[in-house]
Structure 1
Amino acid sequence: MAKPRVLVTRPAHQAQGQMTLLCSLGIDPVSLPLLEITAVAEADSAFPLLKSNIMDLDLYHKVIFISANAVTAGMDLIDQYWPQLPLGIEWFAIGQQTALTLDNFGITAQRSPAGYDSEALLSLPLLQNIAEQKILIMRGEGGRETLAEQLRQRGARVDYADLYRRSMPHYTSEQIISSIIDKPLAAALLTSGEAVNNLTQLINDHDLKALRHTPLVVPSERVARIATELGYTRVMTASGPDNQAMAETVLSTIDMDDRT
């Protein structure tokens, strides 16, 4: 019998590891990125503020990276302006993959073992008594404000370094037909609320109502709530956004007898 097809929606440059793992488990992964990551360029009107924050890095007590994408874009800029990292900064990461990416740059970051989101990071003891401390959040433009709001309520002075923008890739009807419509999907993997919103836009634009009943695997209860509120009827929550956790949840939704 044919292998079950699973839609992988990570940005193109981050999808390969997930697809390789799914292949090894007898699954046919189909890549359809629902987010496109574009770094803020020097010609961009937002770049002077970003550059200023990076050049003032030594003035911050703590630096928090929101994602692996933030690490990649942020460390590229830091390397340009800081041949050696300033001393005395406490580094933080949301999620294991973000921390591992920082480790590749020689930075050991604090992360929460309690989860993969802002709420989990905020539970760390090192982020409790932070009155008058300066904190820089390295992130993509926009996104949730929960982290900064809570840190400010605790008395910290918080700045953003907006390193990249997220957008919805454009797909032709032919691309949609070949990836989604030609053969049925056993499940779809979505790693953020924004990806769920973009899938919903895709469904509306191409009249793909049946996708609302395709099993969705998401990384957290927060993303699961977003999907449920948007009308998806089969939402499964993985133990985290990493490839292994998402793959294990996919396997639990698929009839093992159907895999070859």
Structure 2
Amino acid sequence: MPNPRILVTRPAHQAPDQAALLADLGFDPVQLPLLEIAPVTESDPAFPLLKSRIMDLDLYHTVIFISANAVIAGMDLIDQYWPQLPVGIEWLAIGRQTALKLHEFGISATQSPAGYDSEALLALPQLQQMKEKKVLIMRGEGGRETLAEQLSQRDARVDYADLYRRSLPHYTSGQISSTIGDTPLAAVLVTSGEAVSNLTRLITDHRLGALKHTTLVVPSERVARIADELGYTRVITASGPDNQAMAETVLSTIDMDDRT
């Protein structure tokens, strides 16, 4: 019997690690990134504002990194303009992977032990009394507004550093057929609501409606709700968005299906 085929949809620079872990566990991973990450560059009209945010880094009380992608893009810019990090900043991270990525750059960031999203971070004690405090949110353009809205309601002064843009990569019918259409999938792994939306676009464009009934592993209840609203019928929530949590969820799910 062939190994169960698992669709990995992380961005291209992150997918290989997840695929390698799944292969080690006895699965047949195939990669189809649903998000393309394009950093804002100096030629971009949005760059002057982004640069000013980075240049003013020492004026912020709190800097929040939304994701590991935000860390990679953000620290690249910070390193250019700050040979030494400014002191006195409270560094925060959404999720364990984001905090670990910051640690690679020598930054000890606080993460919420309660979860991997904005709501969990907002519950931290240090974000309760925010009157007149300046907060910089390091993120991709067009992300969720929950964090900024809630902090503003707590009287914080919030700015964004929009570091990159996300888009759905272009795929030919042949690429879709070789990864999704030719062999049945045991599960699809998605790590954000935007990735679920992009998957839905591909399903519609390439008439792959059966995928709506394939096991969809998601990282949070929020993403699960998005998937439910889009018509996915078998949605399973992992304990987190990291590779290990997602892989363990696939392993337990596939094993359960095979033995019952």
> TM-score band, normalised by the shorter chain?
over 0.9
Cα distance in 1 between the residues matched to 2:252 and 2:25:
12
Deviating runs (4+, > 3 A) in structure 1?
Answer: 255-259
The Cα of 1:258 is off from its aligned counterpart by: 5.9
Cα distance in 2 between the residues matched to 1:62 and 1:188:
36
Give the AA of the match of 1:164.
Y
Match of 2:240, SS? coil
Cα distance in 1 between the residues matched to 2:230 and 2:31:
22
Give the AA of the match of 1:139.
R
Compared CA separation, residues 236 and 48, structure 1 to 2 (3 A): same
**Aligned pairs for 1:106-145 within 5 A:** 106-145=106-145
**Aligned pairs for 1:16-35 within 5 A:** 16-35=16-35
Q: CA RMSD in A?
A: 1.1
> Percent of pairs identical after alignment?
79
The Cα of 1:88 is off from its aligned counterpart by: 0.6
Give the AA of the match of 1:150.
Q
Match of 1:109, SS? coil
Cα distance in 2 between the residues matched to 1:46 and 1:183:
43
The Cα of 1:81 is off from its aligned counterpart by: 0.5
Cα distance in 2 between the residues matched to 1:86 and 1:148:
23
What residue ranges of structure 1 are gaps of 5+ in the alignment?
none
**Aligned pairs for 1:35-50 within 5 A:** 35-50=35-50
The Cα of 1:255 is off from its aligned counterpart by: 3.7
What residue ranges of structure 2 are gaps of 5+ in the alignment?
none
Cα distance in 2 between the residues matched to 1:258 and 1:184:
15
The Cα of 1:200 is off from its aligned counterpart by: 0.2
**Aligned pairs for 1:223-238 within 5 A:** 223-238=223-238
Cα distance in 1 between the residues matched to 2:136 and 2:110:
15
Cα distance in 2 between the residues matched to 1:203 and 1:102:
35
What TM-score do you get using the length of structure 1 for normalisation?
0.98
Cα distance in 2 between the residues matched to 1:117 and 1:62:
17
Q: Residue 83 of structure 1 corresponds to which residue in structure 2?
A: 83
